[in-house]
Structure 1
Amino acid sequence: MADDLKQRRLHAMRGCDRILSGTRPKTIRERLADLEAGGDLDAMPDFYGGGPVTELEERVAGLLGTQAAVFFPTGTMAQQVALRYGVERTGVTAVALHPLSHLEMHERHAYSQLSGLRAVTSTHEPRNPTAAEIAALDEPVGSVVLELPMRDAGFVLPTWDELVDVTVAARSIGARVHFDGARLWESVIHLGRTLPEIVALADSVYVSFYKSLDGISGAVLAGSDEMAGFARAWRHRHGGTIFQTFPAALSALSGLDRELPRLPDYVRHARTVADALASLPGARVFPHPPHTHQFRLWLPYAADALAEAVLTLAERERIWFAGGWQDTDVPGYAMTEVTVAGHALEWTAEDVAAAGWLLAQELD
């Protein structure tokens, strides 16, 4: 039943002329076309590295301003290696983590289960920790992890000055700084700095290729040459040095060409979309204005009712509003994450309001 509903959603979204949140699902043939856009298909593939994988690593290192970058099949694996490197460098097995961080919420506590590390809570506030909170930690930590932006707090970012201050505070207590930068690409607008300026504040950073760049999969862990050597050794031990990964690498290169230049426009337009959504009856938006091209939306209906109304609207009107609704602790409200990308740039504030009115008609 769940698979049937998933297929219905995918079919409905692909059939829509207009998509407000998210991107149109791609077929395998369309994915293969992305690979062709990512490089020369007559070139030789990678063999445990080399080829398009090395090209991708070198390109990302250049974009981030780091000495080196190492491709990983998953961000979860990349982050475990980054934290293990912190232990090697500091001798401290505790790491400062937010309870809402990706490592706590979505990685099944791999840092403790695989590497024997221990979390020290950096803050309970729904944001990254401040310099004062890091300075006030009552036990040593080898690494301080900052998630930019913090997805499960609402895609929120610190200000540039706050980010600088917290990295200085981390080093003052003898800790390394690791950026969980899965969505770092789109954070430059809010922070008001270039990617190299942001990354220069950290000792290591992980970036994803599928979350914002529309890649198939994969990630990079970037930092010093020394860290990169360590990362390659431990990637092998984790089973992440794969015979051939050229599909993911070519897809990532395509995403860097196609989507990375568009992210600033997505972020700016998200503010227009968020304003329009906030004007709908009973709607709540957070953060407002959004810090990136993603933000949270609450509407005063049950999640199941919203999901069915969105599907009905998509199938009848060929308009996709937003999916992924979840009931919340706020009585009578469901929440979703809105992602402004691709076709959403075509939506005016009036278009958003009109779609919201049609959705309300389905629910009333």
Structure 2
Amino acid sequence: MNETATEETEEERRRHRLAVWRGSRRLLWRGPVDRPLGERLTALAADAGQVCDPDGTPDLYGDGVVGELERRVAELLGLPAAVYFPTGTMAQQVALRCWAERTGNATVALHPMAHPERHERGAFGAVSGLRTVHPTREPRLPTAEEIADFEEPFGALMLELPLRDAGFVLPEWDELTKTVSAARERDAVVHFDGARLWECVTHFGRPLAEIASLADSVYVSFYKSLGGLSGAALAGPAEVMAQARAWRHRYGGLLFQQYPAAVSALLGLERELPRLPSYVAHAKRVAAALTDAFHEGGVPWFRLNPPVPHTHQFQVWLPYEAEVLERAALGQSEETGVTLFRRWFTEGGAPGMSVTEVTVDSAGLEWTPGEVREAAAEFLRRVGIG
């Protein structure tokens, strides 16, 4: 009885947060659930004609608009072929399984903060028989030296670009190319977990195709940066992608129809992809304004990670309990209509330290640095600082 009551309370809190965020007049970003279901469906139907023929035949088992999306992704990444997947988890399971069959080595080297290690319930080992090893535990991607000196062989090196749980961090271009070369010298293939690869262009100063060309295979997401409903793509050599299609079927990923998700992905490529550099540039201004506000507000300790964002997302760390910070953030949203921060978390951090993720998208472009500082000062006042 008590457990049910607690679950109901948590659900009520979730619904309350969502209602408050939806009602905010100013946000740094609008999340996928910030718009009601009917509004999203209406917008998708109204905009579909920009990327496909609304009078055309819906897809069946991956043809039609899904096939067009695959061709578009392969073209953007400069790779021979691409395969659509309903989830990134499945796409990467299949990618690393295919490479294990081809290399004869089922060991995958990746960061312990990588998404498969942190957020997929050990799926690599439980589902695909893969074994993972960690060349480094530092909150950054492995260096060339760490790859070259690692004590045991591995068949594939998986690099998450950017490394989300470490703060959406990226290496410098020269560092990345050296790390890839070190893996090649060990006869390992290289796979990019590029769920957020789309926004790496600014940091690397290279086009998408040049970045993707470093890897043997690349996974990209359609909802994390592009605002799609769901879905992912795996791109690489044509013969490997043909093998991936077979495994996609075995994993249950060959869906009968997927046109809503595919259309939303094409719209994301058309609309959001060209805007991402402006989001990255403005995220740097937002981060600088937050830093100024925290200094001016007398915060005893804080950290923006990284101090200058590598993408349009970054972490903010403060020395207070998550409940205190979240209550202040939600109160600010509800009473002023301004949402600066959303959820705060303590897991993975030191006692008394909490972290939130900040994203800047088209909604955030409306904020001036002065407005960010004002919102941060109001937030600190509600926390009890300054």
With structure 1 as the length reference, what TM-score do the two structures score? 0.97
2:363 matched residue in structure 1:
343
Equivalent-residue separation in structure 2 for 1:311 and 1:130 (angstroms): 40
Equivalent-residue separation in structure 2 for 1:144 and 1:15 (angstroms): 44
With structure 2 as the length reference, what TM-score do the two structures score? 0.92
More displaced stretch, 251-260 vs 276-285: 276-285
Which of 28, 39, 64 does residue 20 from structure 1 map onto? 28
Q: Does 1:165 align with 2:174?
A: no
2:164 matched residue in structure 1:
151
Equivalent-residue separation in structure 2 for 1:2 and 1:211 (angstroms): 25
Which of 77, 100, 108 does residue 87 from structure 1 map onto? 100
C-alpha deviation, 1:332, in angstroms: 3.5
Give the match's secondary structure for 1:230. Answer: helix
Equivalent-residue separation in structure 2 for 1:43 and 1:224 (angstroms): 30
Equivalent-residue separation in structure 2 for 1:36 and 1:218 (angstroms): 21
C-alpha deviation, 1:286, in angstroms: 0.8
Question: Which aligned pairs between 1:62-81 and structure 2 lie closer than 5 A?
Answer: 62-81=75-94
Q: Does 1:124 align with 2:137?
A: yes
Give the match's secondary structure for 2:152. Answer: coil
Paired residue total: 364
CA contact (8 A) 1:35 1:251 kept: no
CA contact (8 A) 1:23 1:341 kept: no
More displaced stretch, 351-360 vs 231-240: 351-360
1:305 matched residue in structure 2:
324
CA offset digits 1:263-318 (Å, max 9, x no partner): 00000000000011112132321101000000000223321111122111111111
Change beyond 3 A, Cα 1:120–1:332? closer
2:202 matched residue in structure 1:
189
C-alpha deviation, 1:216, in angstroms: 0.6
Equivalent-residue separation in structure 1 for 2:30 and 2:309 (angstroms): 16
2:312 matched residue in structure 1:
293
CA contact (8 A) 1:45 1:246 kept: yes
CA contact (8 A) 1:35 1:250 kept: no
Q: Does 1:2 align with 2:10?
A: yes
Equivalent-residue separation in structure 2 for 1:138 and 1:303 (angstroms): 39
**Structure 1 gaps, min length 5:** none
1:317 matched residue in structure 2:
336
CA contact (8 A) 1:23 1:342 kept: no
Equivalent-residue separation in structure 1 for 2:356 and 2:334 (angstroms): 20
Give the match's secondary structure for 1:308. Answer: helix
1:267 matched residue in structure 2:
280
Q: 2:74 is aligned with what amino acid?
A: A
Change beyond 3 A, Cα 1:261–1:107? same
2:256 matched residue in structure 1:
243
Give the match's secondary structure for 2:363. Answer: helix
Q: Does 1:29 align with 2:48?
A: no
Give the match's secondary structure for 1:220. Answer: strand
Equivalent-residue separation in structure 1 for 2:123 and 2:232 (angstroms): 17
Q: 1:169 is aligned with what amino acid?
A: A
Equivalent-residue separation in structure 1 for 2:23 and 2:346 (angstroms): 27
Change beyond 3 A, Cα 1:182–1:11? same
Equivalent-residue separation in structure 1 for 2:206 and 2:317 (angstroms): 31
Give the match's secondary structure for 1:134. Answer: helix
Equivalent-residue separation in structure 2 for 1:31 and 1:223 (angstroms): 32
Equivalent-residue separation in structure 2 for 1:148 and 1:54 (angstroms): 26
C-alpha deviation, 1:20, in angstroms: 2.1
C-alpha deviation, 1:124, in angstroms: 1.1
C-alpha deviation, 1:35, in angstroms: 4.6
More displaced stretch, 120-129 vs 190-199: 120-129
Equivalent-residue separation in structure 2 for 1:218 and 1:173 (angstroms): 33
Give the match's secondary structure for 1:327. Answer: coil
Equivalent-residue separation in structure 2 for 1:248 and 1:64 (angstroms): 20
1:352 matched residue in structure 2:
372
Identity %: 55
Q: How big is the alpha-carbon RMSD for the aligned residues of Structure 1 and Structure 2? A: 1.3
Q: 2:357 is aligned with what amino acid?
A: E
Equivalent-residue separation in structure 2 for 1:359 and 1:121 (angstroms): 39
Equivalent-residue separation in structure 2 for 1:334 and 1:112 (angstroms): 31
C-alpha deviation, 1:357, in angstroms: 1.3
Q: Does 1:221 align with 2:234?
A: yes
